[in-house]
Amino acid sequence: MSELRLIHGFHAITAKLRHAAEDIKEIYVAAGRQDSRARDLVKLAESRGVRVLPTDALRLDGLSGGARHQGVVARVAATQRHVTLDDVLDELSEPALLLVLDGVTDPHNLGACLRVADAAGCHAVVAPKDRACGLNATAIKVASGAADTVPYIMVTNLARSLREIKERNVWVIGAAGEAQKDLYAIEQKGAVAWVLGAEGEGLRRLTRETCDEIAKIPMHGSVESLNVSVASGICLFEARRQRA
C-alpha cells in the first residue's frame, strides 16, 4: 500500500471498515476517548485486523488539515477501485437509476449528493473529469459512508457518456427550472438517469441538448432554486416512488 490518503469522521471510517477494511493501513483515535462511538469503532477495527493508534488532538488536527475530524482519522489506500458505467449497468437486476452531476465542484455538495444517492438506491453517480471535484476527505466525510457504497464514476466526455447511457436504454432527464414539464408528469418506472447542474449555473448547453427531455421541480415559494443535493433527492425519490 504505497500511496495513501487520509479520511476522517466516524461515518466515513466505519463505512470503510465495513466495505473495504483491507484498504486501511491504520486508524488514529483521540487519546482518552472512551465514549460508546469510539469504543464501537475500535472494536470494529480490531475485528477487521486494523491497527488503532491513540493520538493527541494536535496531531489529529494536523492530519485532517484543520477539518472537523470528530477525533478519528485513518490512512487508507489512495486509489479508488476502478468501476466503469458498463460494469455498473451489466450487473443490475433492476432498471438503472443514475445520478449525473454537471459542474458540481464543491466537495460538500458532492458528499451530500452521494448520501442522497445511497438513500434512494441509486446505482452510480457520474461526473465529468473537467468540471467536478474528486473524492477528497471532505466529500467522503459529508457522504457519511456513501462514498464506499455508491460508485462515483468520472468520465472524460460527459455528453458522449450520456449518449452511451441512452444506448443502454436508459431515459436521460435533465433538471432545469425553465422547463415546461415538471418531474411528476414524467414516467420514471423504467431505467432513468437524472442530470443536474450546479446551483445557479445549471446544465451546460451540450449536456442539456443530449438529454432525452428536460423537467423542472415545481417551486411554490419565493426561492428560485435548490441546492443540488436537495434537488437530487427530490428527483431520485420520485423515480423510486413511481417504481413502488
**In whole angstroms, what is the distance from residue 52 CA to residue 60 CA?**
13
Q: What is the band of 144 on the pLDDT scale with cuts at 50, 70, 90?
A: confident
The CATH class for the domain spanning 4-77 reads alpha beta
162 is in an annotated binding site: no
Q: What is the band of 87 on the pLDDT scale with cuts at 50, 70, 90?
A: confident
Fold of the domain built from segment(s) 85-243: Alpha/beta knot (3.40.1280)
pLDDT in tens, 10-20: 888 988 898 88
**In whole angstroms, what is the distance from residue 162 CA to residue 170 CA?**
9
Residues of the chain with CATH 3.40.1280.10: 85-243
140 is in an annotated binding site: no
217 is in an annotated binding site: yes
- Specify the pLDDT at position 80: 59
Query: Could you tell me if 121 and 149 are in contact, meaning their C-beta atoms sit under 8 angstroms apart?
Result: no
- Specify the pLDDT at position 1: 41
Apex 241 CA angle, 111 and 118, nearest 5:
20
Residues of the chain with CATH 3.30.1330.30: 4-77
CA distances to 4, 34, 144, 165, 195 from 30, in Å: 21, 9, 19, 45, 41
- Specify the pLDDT at position 84: 86
